[in-house]
Structure 1
Amino acid sequence: MSGSTRARHESALASLRRRLAAFAVVAALATCLAGGALLASRLAAATVGAWLFVAAAVLAVELGWATGQLDRNRRAGETLLARLGTGNFVTLGRGVLLAWVAAFVVVDWTDTAALLWVPTALYGTAAALDAADGALARGNDRVTGFGTSLDLEYDALGVLVACSVGVVAGLLPLWYLSIGLARYAFGLARYLRRRRGVPVYDLPPRVSRRPLAGLQMAFLAAALSPVPDPSVRTAGATVFGGALLLGFGRDWLYVSGRVGGDTKSPTEHVVD
């Protein structure tokens, strides 16, 4: 990398860090306002304090991870972009909503069932924005490695926090936490496989992967609300959760070379 190219790169990276820091300030202020709204809803002050702590912790993790990925804010084969772009800001906004959803794990739902509409609305909005951020990025020709990675990570985080709140609130069975942890367990298993020097294979394209993820998000948004009958939730958990786990099981057969491994070469990069 030449001196001038390096200088442009560092200038763009500094610009991205400033923009992400500004977003972090806005997100922190919005979180404080959300906590104030929960106080106004007569939620106990100690519970609101715990809610703010969890929301802030999840936001810190999200933004810390995003900061480490800023160097990927580029189109394929191009130099670093100095602006995050509208699509990425929408994705980052999704992250704020998901941090708020995650914080509802501290709520005692015994006498506050009506408040379930809040995480339901937050997660439902985040799930709906999942389609908007990608469309904005493609429409503005701003599809980058940063945005793609951010979108995938927030998709996984969203499922995890929604499953966690659903289980804590008694709306979903305990085993459903495995749905939220499945992608992280899958990634850890691939990592450990590489560390052992065992071949790791690419995943083949699967048309059903994205629709299944969308249906899972839709089910979780509905399951968090106080409306569905418990038997309906249980049936939905079995159908949608079972389909997702079967999908991960099938993907693992490909990644580990048990299926299709004889027709392709192992790789250090696995396509999600």
Structure 2
Amino acid sequence: MTASTTSAGRSDNVPAWRAPGRVPSALRRQAWLAAALLFCPWLVTLFLCGPLLQLHLHPFVIVSLLPGLIAAIYLHLRLIFHLGSNHRYGEADRPFPTLGAATWITLLRGAAIVALAGFLPLAVLPVPALPQAQVWAPGLIYLTISLADLLDGFVARRQHRQTELGQRLDIETDAAGLMVALLVAVSLDRLPALTLLVGLAYYLFLFGIWWRQQRHLPLVALQLRPYARIIAGFQMGLVAMALLPLFNPPFTSIAAALVMTPLLVGFGRDWLVVSCRLRIDSNQRTAMDQWAGLVLTRFLPLVLRLLLLAGGIVNLVQGAASLPHPAWLWAQSLCCLLAGIGWMGRSAALLLTLALSCSLAPYGTGLPVLVLFGIAATLMLTGTGPLSLWSPEEGILYRRRRDSGIPAGNETT
């Protein structure tokens, strides 16, 4: 999840859609079509839950219908507010007359978020056991929303229509989707309630910027931090996995704590930078960044890799006599070996966490398994560091977005 201080930090607070002559009439009509797209899933939810609501009319049940409605209203208001920015960066005098395929994909993601919120009433209502298809639906919907986040950017680049509107709407959709998905995961007892802080952090961040603007206090435009995008991506993946019935606590709770901690620390760091409370250099790096980079990317990965190697050897020796399915044991040992030597270490650590936490796995939830899971999940976040044999994931995760068409100062962590 990212936060754009460019849009939030504008000194001109006049909405773009109010500026006369800036928004083509065809674009306004498409905005109202987008409203129908966003509100339709909520109306379908209301229709389907109507009989249940008549049987269990309770304020808490009524409240469970509000997140979907709020998400639809919020995303449409953000679209309307920024219609005038439907142009490439630096080309404000040449707006596009239509939203474009990439923006419509983002709006479809928004509609899917509203549909995902429709599972909240089912989570709080005393209904019988859900059919298997509905049990899988929340996780598959959010997984689709997350993967489609890659598609809209790809389409925008292929069509050379990377617009300010599309970038802002993409950020807002990511934030709304994470908040709704966390609400559903917490309601289904897949994640602890404390993880809701991750979804709230983005909106608290924007509120803080607005608060300083209203008081004419200084603000620093935040620059892109690649690692923040990586953590945000892992957070989205974690929530998608937690919503699938294959993964359950305590594994999801441990993973949530490991991913949530650096994400919230990053928001705190960014707020201190934006509010001019931290000393930064020309690249907007702080002393905390240098210390954290030294510990988290050099020393800690080496320790984690040694622990995984040791854990893999111990489990291979002990598990040979206790596990009825040797294929699981050999797969686990191979992942530990690859992560330990740093050969596609992040991927190996990811596969190891999935193998240990999957409900089909024969490992159980004993302390050694949970410790090994925690080590693998941490290595997945930090990377394998120095002395790695081959780590192609680093080039993918830290690649520069040279083809995005977005100036560096307009995309922030």
| TM-score of the aligned structures, taking structure 2 as reference length | 0.56
Would the aligned equivalents of 2:113 and 2:180 in 1 still touch at CA under 8 Å?
Answer: yes
**Structure 2 residue aligned with 1:230:** 249
- Bigger radius of gyration among the two: 2
Q: For 1:44, which of 52, 57, 69 is the aligned residue?
A: 52
**Structure 2 residue aligned with 1:6:** none
Would the aligned equivalents of 2:190 and 2:248 in 1 still touch at CA under 8 Å?
Answer: no
> CA–CA distance in 1 between the matches of 2:264 and 2:80?
31
Would the aligned equivalents of 1:13 and 1:70 in 2 still touch at CA under 8 Å?
Answer: no
**Structure 2 residue aligned with 1:18:** 29
Q: Quick check: 189-198 or 26-35, which moved more? A: 26-35
State the Cα RMSD in Å: 3.0
Structure 1 residue 271, shift from structure 2 partner: 5.3
Three-state SS of the structure 2 residue aligned to 1:75 is coil
Give yes or no for the alignment of 1:69 onto 2:88.
no
More helix by share: 1
Would the aligned equivalents of 2:84 and 2:95 in 1 still touch at CA under 8 Å?
Answer: yes
**Structure 2 residue aligned with 1:213:** 232
Question: Unaligned 5+ residue runs, structure 2?
Answer: 1-19, 285-408
Give yes or no for the alignment of 1:118 onto 2:131.
no
Structure 1 residue 73, shift from structure 2 partner: 0.2
**Structure 2 residue aligned with 1:81:** 96
**Structure 2 residue aligned with 1:158:** 177
**Structure 2 residue aligned with 1:5:** none
Q: For 2:209, which of 180, 190, 199 is the aligned residue?
A: 190
Structure 1 residue 200, shift from structure 2 partner: 1.5
Would the aligned equivalents of 1:201 and 1:270 in 2 still touch at CA under 8 Å?
Answer: no
**Structure 2 residue aligned with 1:252:** 271
One-letter code aligned to 1:226: P
Q: Return closer, same or farther for 1:247/1:116 CA change in 2, 3 Å cut-off.
A: farther
Q: Deviations over 1:208-237 (max 9, x none)?
A: 122211111110001112221311011111
Structure 1 residue 180, shift from structure 2 partner: 0.7
Give yes or no for the alignment of 1:174 onto 2:193.
yes
> CA–CA distance in 1 between the matches of 2:155 and 2:181?
25
Would the aligned equivalents of 1:73 and 1:147 in 2 still touch at CA under 8 Å?
Answer: yes
Structure 1 residue 270, shift from structure 2 partner: 7.9
Question: Unaligned 5+ residue runs, structure 1?
Answer: 1-8
> CA–CA distance in 2 between the matches of 1:23 and 1:200?
33
Q: Return closer, same or farther for 1:248/1:12 CA change in 2, 3 Å cut-off.
A: closer
> CA–CA distance in 2 between the matches of 1:29 and 1:194?
35
Structure 1 residue 14, shift from structure 2 partner: 1.1
Structure 1 residue 140, shift from structure 2 partner: 0.6
Q: Quick check: 148-157 or 110-119, which moved more? A: 110-119
One-letter code aligned to 2:257: T
Three-state SS of the structure 2 residue aligned to 1:82 is coil
| TM-score of the aligned structures, taking structure 1 as reference length | 0.82
| Identity within the alignment, % | 30
Three-state SS of the structure 1 residue aligned to 2:97 is coil
Q: Quick check: 117-126 or 143-152, which moved more? A: 117-126
Three-state SS of the structure 1 residue aligned to 2:191 is coil
